[in-house]
Structure 1
Amino acid sequence: MLESNKALTFEELENDNLMKIKALKICSDLRGGWDKDTVQELKAFHDDYIEIRKELESYREIVNQGWKALQVAQELTNQQNQMKAQMKFIKENLPEHLPTDQGNSRSNSSSAGRNVVQGASSKEEQNTAKAVLPSDGSKVVKGKKNWKPFQFITVEEFETVPKYIRGRLQYDQVNKAVTELNKTLEAKYALLSRPRNKLRPMELKNVHVFKQQETTETAGTRFVVDSDIKQYSKLRLDTAGRAMLTVLRTLKHLQEIRGPGNLMRYAVRSPTE
């Protein structure tokens, strides 16, 4: 008889079994019926089938376990892809600015705020800020007080602003406006701190305008006005820009000082000592 244990595929196993059945029929015909040894051959054939069935059941169980493992792997792959997408979203939408820790000591808050502004500004913004420094290389005269910049807002603060005020504004938009306000503030007061004999005629004219805008009410504050923002920053004072200023005023990150007339000053509160 042919042995089926040499078959490597189901097709080969089927062919082997068909040849066995054909051989048994030939034996039966030659012997004139089912003799004892033919019955033994048939029984052996039956036993082979039982063994094959057991092996198939074993293979089926292995396949089922493999299928379950594949499902688990697919689920893990889906979770990994979701995490990857989330990380990509976080990377692409990471705020350019991180609010300073306003709980720090007063002596450290000013330098920390300036570091945040300088660190958050892009290379282009830093170049713009440098453009307002003296062209003759003279140093800016530092005041005795440590002035603080406009502070960045936190997400928690932004969420407290009523919807009718912030409208469609995004958190990061407001902090970008803070960066532009600080650029304006630093440019204006860098110019004010320079010696008058180092100023060009146009710069002297600007300094004269700055001085005219100061009143007793602005004492102890640094402020900018609309014309300063237009001259020294990229912040557009359209509907959205005005809304950003309103958000900052609502959160008390900015103080408005009005008058005389239509003049509006956007001021930082008292400096740190």
Structure 2
Amino acid sequence: MASSDLEDLISHFNLKISNVKKTLQLRSIGQEPSLKLVLYKIGQEVVLLHDLLNKMETEVQQQERLKNRLKDLQQSAERDQIEAQRLRENIPPHLPKPTQSCITWPTVKHGEETKVAERDHAKKPMKETIPIKEAAFITTEEFQSVPAYMKGRLTYHQINAVIQEINKAVVGKYKILQQPVKSMNAAVRSLYLRFLKEETKDTKGEFFVVEADIKEFTQLKMDKRLHSIFSILRHCRRLRQVRDSKLVRYIIC
């Protein structure tokens, strides 16, 4: 056996003997009455220290989770900033701007005979150059100002898509009203006469549509979701309603 191996073995046995001696000393010390209280207090401190270490470990884990969440939020904010910058640099030039004034629209008196209405409109045809008023798209600031209970899960793009469809119905309706009566076929004339009957003193000088117009010119469904969007459009002053016992008229603001 090499001398180095023998020295290692001797060192190992000496360490074991030293540990045994220390254990015996500690056991004998624990039996002394004067030291029992000190050992008891040391034991309590060890328990408290153990609890403190557990709490510290829990706090470190919570801080680690919070750091990961903040990192995800930072990455999301950076993506949103890049997307916003891209949208800002690519704003389409054809978006309609909000208008401040309403265009007056001449109407016939409610209750006139159909033939009289046709004759009057035939004598005084609408000028095709008269622009048809459309609702402006809502802005992101307006969307953010809408109460959460109104928006629900609706998005900014969904609301503006409905505005686009409403504008389609308004344009379709008032283009027919601008046509000379003599140039209309039977189906168009039927719509024209209905439009005239739906006009009232409350809608004089206004552009409006009813549920039948929305069904006629768009693919929108008059369901709960659409009525929620109408509430948002009233809140943003894009529409206002005029009701009677038979119809709800949605007036463009």
Aligned residue in 2 for 1:61: none
Return the TM-score normalized by structure 1. 0.49
Instruction: Tell me which of 181, 193, 198 is aligned to 2:183.
Output: 198
Cα distance, 1:160–1:105 mapped onto 2, change above 3 Å: closer
* Whole-angstrom CA distance in 2 between matches of 1:214 and 1:248: 22
Is 2:238 the counterpart of 1:268?
no
Cα contact 2:238–2:252 (8 A) shared by 1? yes
* Whole-angstrom CA distance in 2 between matches of 1:182 and 1:214: 18
Deviation at 1:243, TM superposition (A): 1.0
SS at structure 2 position matched to 1:207 = helix
Structure 2 residue runs without a partner (length 5+): 1-74, 104-124
Cα contact 2:132–2:174 (8 A) shared by 1? no
Aligned residue in 2 for 1:122: none
**1:190 is aligned with what amino acid?**
K
Deviation at 1:262, TM superposition (A): 3.6
Cα contact 1:96–1:172 (8 A) shared by 2? no
Cα distance, 1:88–1:220 mapped onto 2, change above 3 Å: closer
Aligned residue in 1 for 2:167: 182
Cα contact 1:97–1:175 (8 A) shared by 2? no
Alpha-carbon RMSD: 3.4
* Whole-angstrom CA distance in 2 between matches of 1:178 and 1:250: 14
- Greater relative CO (CA pairs within 8 A, separation 6+): 2
**1:209 is aligned with what amino acid?**
R
Deviation at 1:256, TM superposition (A): 0.7
Aligned residue in 2 for 1:210: 195
Aligned residue in 1 for 2:238: 253
* Whole-angstrom CA distance in 2 between matches of 1:255 and 1:242: 13
Cα contact 2:181–2:189 (8 A) shared by 1? yes
Is 2:141 the counterpart of 1:156?
yes
Cα distance, 1:88–1:147 mapped onto 2, change above 3 Å: closer
Return the TM-score normalized by structure 2. 0.52
Deviation at 1:210, TM superposition (A): 0.7
SS at structure 2 position matched to 1:174 = helix
* Whole-angstrom CA distance in 1 between matches of 2:240 and 2:100: 22
CA deviation vs aligned residue, 1:200-256 (integer Å, no higher than 9, x gap): 112111111111110011001010011110110122221211111111011111111
What is the percent sequence identity of the aligned residues?
Answer: 29
Aligned residues: 154
Is 2:212 the counterpart of 1:227?
yes
Cα contact 1:97–1:152 (8 A) shared by 2? no
Deviation at 1:90, TM superposition (A): 5.8
Cα contact 2:97–2:136 (8 A) shared by 1? no
SS at structure 1 position matched to 2:167 = helix
> Where do 4+ consecutive residues of structure 1 move more than 3 Å?
82-91, 94-102, 143-147
SS at structure 2 position matched to 1:267 = strand
CA deviation vs aligned residue, 1:118-174 (integer Å, no higher than 9, x gap): xxxxxxxxxxxxxxxxxxxxxx95357544211110011011111111211100111
